[in-house]
Chains A and B, each alone.
Chain A
């Protein structure tokens, strides 16, 4: 009886994102119809392009990598009832510090240089998350406001640092054509993350050169597992959840919510510091004015769809990775604008929020009734 109910709840929880996806696909179909394309063909092409080619699958993994870190960072905040909207700024600062360590230190062996670079990224994320949580704990400044504002500060600061302070002036132009890029110097070879090509070829999987899947992907998966255990099974994770659900009762039990907030937010910032590293160390190898932005906000969506479950985050980050790859496919093959998929994505997020709310209320009612 009880067990049946548990299964029912689990089934409902899994059903929520599926229903949301179907509804989102239905409405997107209308939009696709409106631009005179066949929705079935669009979706078919998306799937075919994404899953019938090895490189596409690897690119999906690559696309998912920053989102896994970003969503994990968001979920840590959510677990303790705080909204870390500042992942965006935290990863830009983290990425920049990593780049700084990457191009300014030379002659180190990779075994030392790469960990240093990663640590710099973590430090940058922590630094940028320390400001809002310090303000919150000491002065009661709401973290949503301060993190959003700090995102803008981070954008501008990064632009200033890249364009004025650390701009690479030694760029040589090919035959005097084009213009120099506004970017940092290139990172030392020893600072870069290896691709997974060599490892995968052991298993007979040969990835083409234009795929940049690197070791940050498995690191992200491991981190998700680690965070799952941290949150579910350690005293600190226990405090994180207790404070998140009921700070007052936690306080009376002798937990100091402010300390938990501080530690938890720094952890969130540390994870956020890793978001940009797959792109920096595995793809661009320098940081420029156009370094990808928006992973922080996408991470919120990914965490939302996964309902903050670390394993769900891996899955929903893959989903986003697939949508991105698929949208490239339909743009190239069917001349359907990529924005269609952005609409699909947005609809999915809206539906997931609404449907999860409905289902959670329903589950609550089920439990209430049983208790009454």
Chain B
């Protein structure tokens, strides 16, 4: 069989780190090849080399048997390598068609020849069995469809090798299935697909072969039929990982967080929250799942006080919080782990210790006269760094330079250090590797053990299922079902998430 991509001894060094260390990789033409590894294992670097964004320091690249130097992204396209990025590079106000042809328009004179473009794209859609409305504005289509637009975009540019970077991170389970149908169809037509992920179930489901990267090295390539999830996880982290969390029974106490009939107006006259009621007790993790954009964000924003324009009552430890400032709500014992740590959780250009006291910088313990008691703040930070084993070179380093996992640990240590009664965790493990993820999970479970109430909002079903004591499915601003994790299968939950059944008589 012909080899689409062969990498030989690829080494890429950055100051102080070897991102790829003599990586060898062989990808057959027409296969789906998954590349898995923890964050920081070198997956992205390797793919950026393939996409022409980085140049390797050593090693050789062969594309379809020919030795090539991929000096630029344009060269990559020339070599028929197409990259589907995790964050879509699309323009909301353009139509699907315009998005696809942008930058590669066929012209008639000086005008864009939309007719020819449309025909070309139609042919592609028919060939690969993609369902897309070319005249819909991008802002009106779902995330799953937007991803299809990205895929068609690279196919339109003639790609034979498709690189998909964490394509399922933004999708609901049903959409993942649709994506996989599409990918298999592409494979049938002879396209080669490189699939980057750290979701092992998906990788085992879709891939033919799997290459595992660990600390910049390729530790092995295995066929998907011959390996189990546990074996893969072991290859990834180098030690066996507890897939089932030790969840000791926790003492359930009084209700610490209660939401009663919360209604919030959204855009375009539709309510983004439509009468949400739920209660979280001390010693309990309440998980909220749902397809993104069904009110999870607004729910979190209402609880932390970022948005006050809602009706209904929210009580923390029995006291109503509607109308209180964010600071007052935090002072009443609410900790918040925001979903977007770069935008909402950290001030990236500021130092690690400065980020460690964000929000608590006016507390008496960090004061010395009119100044911040830097010594105390540093001690506090060093203590957190030790307790949460945060990997940094110095607490005076800008937090921008830390890995995602370590940044999240800084947020976690900051929020949990204040002995909160209620912890609001929104997507607390998004983008983290298995090691960091496990750490976050253990911290949340420990807080549950200590009798705190935890409201967990996550798009990662597996995470919610393994952590939660109770689960609520949110759809269209409503909790449409509530149940204990062992009561439902993944498929059932998926059905609820897509709104097929509303309130089918479930109770807590």
Tell me which residues across on chain A come within 8 A of B350, comparing CB atoms. 241-242, 245
Q: Could you tell me the distance in whole angstroms from the C-beta of B37 to the nearest C-beta in chain A?
A: 14
Partner pick for B393 among A2, A239, A249, CB 8 A cutoff? A2
Q: Is B372 a contact partner of A249 (Cβ separation < 8 A)? A: no
Tell me which residues across on chain B come within 8 A of A366, comparing CB atoms. 15
A335 at the interface (CB under 8 A from B): no
Select the stretch in B284-292, B337-345, B470-478 that faces chain A: B337-345
Q: Is B326 a contact partner of A233 (Cβ separation < 8 A)? A: no
Tell me which residues across on chain B come within 8 A of A5, comparing CB atoms. 15
Tell me which residues across on chain B come within 8 A of A369, comparing CB atoms. 14-15
A331 at the interface (CB under 8 A from B): no
Tell me which residues across on chain B come within 8 A of A367, comparing CB atoms. 398, 400-401
B contact residues, range: 35 or more
A202 at the interface (CB under 8 A from B): no
Contact A249-B344, Cβ < 8 Å, known A254-B326, A256-B325: yes
A112 at the interface (CB under 8 A from B): no
Most buried by A among B304, B346, B347: B347
B374 at the interface (CB under 8 A from A): yes
A contact residues, range: 20 to 34
Q: Is B346 a contact partner of A246 (Cβ separation < 8 A)? A: yes
Q: Could you tell me the distance in whole angstroms from the C-beta of B54 to the nearest C-beta in chain A?
A: 9
- The secondary-structure label for the interface of chain A is helix
Tell me the chain B residues, 313-353 only, with Cβ under 8 Å from chain A: 325-327, 330-331, 336, 338, 343-350
Most buried by B among A1, A246, A256: A246
Contact A372-B371, Cβ < 8 Å, known A235-B362, A238-B354, A252-B304: no
Tell me which residues across on chain B come within 8 A of A370, comparing CB atoms. 14-17, 401
| 8 closest residue pairs by CB, A with B | A253-B359, A254-B327, A369-B14, A246-B347, A253-B358, A245-B347, A371-B401, A233-B371
Further pairs besides A238-B372, A252-B344, A370-B401: 18, Cβ < 8 Å: A2-B393, A229-B371, A233-B371, A238-B361, A241-B347, A242-B347, A245-B347, A245-B350, A246-B343, A249-B338, A249-B345, A250-B347, A253-B326, A253-B359, A254-B325, A256-B325, A369-B14, A371-B402
A-to-B contact residues, CB < 8 Å? 1-2, 5, 229, 233-235, 238-239, 241-242, 245-246, 248-256, 366-367, 369-372
A-B contact pairs, 30 of them (CB 8 A): A2-B393, A229-B371, A233-B371, A234-B370, A234-B371, A234-B372, A238-B354, A238-B361, A245-B347, A245-B348, A245-B349, A245-B350, A246-B343, A248-B344, A249-B343, A249-B346, A249-B358, A252-B306, A253-B326, A253-B358, A254-B325, A254-B327, A254-B330, A254-B331, A256-B325, A367-B400, A369-B14, A370-B16, A370-B17, A371-B402
